[in-house]
């Protein structure tokens, strides 16, 4: 690749990244914040309304990304879109992964880094949306308790909780160690476990890099690779056994 080609590629990456983050900032403030405000005061079910707004906001982000990056393809397996009343566990490659899943599921909860709950306004949106802080110490403990008190009802009513059990992004694509949180919640709610695999979000937005890759041919996929219907009454249905079953699905 010539010096000029590298320069033009960098310029395109920078400009496209700025346009995408402009949607994040100004799209939220100008187009979506009025709806959040209206739902805060007038919605009969604020959580469901906020989750739907989050869904449409991030769906708009990926539509914008596909418009700006013509070589980007996003393939969501049909049976992924129909998942309901489940705890979803997924591999984690990029910061794009959680917002991609929110863009797929209209009724969703997830676990979010606790630091974001302290961000003015955004933290309120997370709380009203029913999202769960990753570290529920101090003032955040009440949010965790409220979320867990209503989790059974939420999942039974068709909602999905999606979790990245590795807890952090994989730098090389390999599967990291699992934390037990998602599996404890599944056991508590007696919920089905759906195992999703995300591919190539890290090719679009790479860990450790601020700018999107905008000129490469990238095909992001989200596939359902396994379903577990545990017999929670069985003595063999432990959190450890659930973790082992999920890892086996990923590794096969």
3-state secondary structure of 219: strand
pTM above 0.95, yes or no: no
The string of pLDDT tens digits covering residues 5-51 is 788 889 999 999 999 999 988 888 899 999 999 999 999 999 999 99
Could you tell me which residues are beta bridge partners of residue 224? 196
Q: How many domains does the chain have?
A: 1
Q: Where in the sequence is the domain holding 157, given as residue range(s)?
A: 3-251
Q: Quick one: CA torsion of 210, 216, 221, 225, rounded to 10 degrees?
A: -90
Q: In the chain, which stretches have pLDDT less than 50?
A: none
Residue 202 sits in a domain whose CATH number is: 3.40.1130
Strand order in the sheet with 86-90: 72-76, 218-228, 192-199, 86-90, 160-163, 108-112, 132-133
């Amino acid at each position: 690749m010539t010096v000029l080609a590298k320069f033009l590629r960098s310029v395109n990456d920078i400009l496209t990244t700025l346009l995408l983050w402009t949607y994040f900032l100004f799209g939220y403030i100008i187009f979506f914040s009025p709806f959040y405000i209206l739902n805060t005061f007038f919605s009969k079910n604020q959580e469901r309304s906020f989750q739907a707004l989050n869904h449409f906001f991030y769906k708009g982000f990926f539509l914008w990304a596909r418009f700006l990056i013509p070589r980007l393809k996003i393939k969501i397996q049909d049976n992924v879109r129909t998942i309901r009343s489940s705890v979803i566990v997924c591999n984690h490659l990029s910061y794009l992964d959680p917002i991609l899943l929110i863009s797929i599921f209209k009724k969703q909860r997830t676990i979010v880094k606790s630091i974001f709950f302290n961000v003015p306004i955004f933290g309120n949106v997370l709380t009203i949306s029913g999202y769960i802080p990753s570290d529920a110490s101090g003032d955040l403990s009440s949010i965790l308790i409220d979320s867990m008190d209503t989790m059974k009802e939420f999942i039974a009513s068709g909602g999905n909780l999606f979790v990245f059990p590795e807890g952090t992004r994989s730098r090389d694509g390999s599967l990291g160690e699992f934390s037990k949180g998602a599996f404890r919640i599944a056991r508590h709610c007696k919920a089905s476990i759906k195992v999703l695999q995300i591919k190539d979000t890290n090719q679009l937005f790479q860990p450790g890099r601020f700018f999107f890759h905008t000129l490469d041919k990238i095909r992001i996929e989200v596939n359902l690779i396994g379903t577990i219907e545990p017999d929670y009454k069985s003595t063999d249905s432990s959190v450890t056994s659930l973790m082992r079953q999920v890892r086996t699905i990923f590794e096969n």
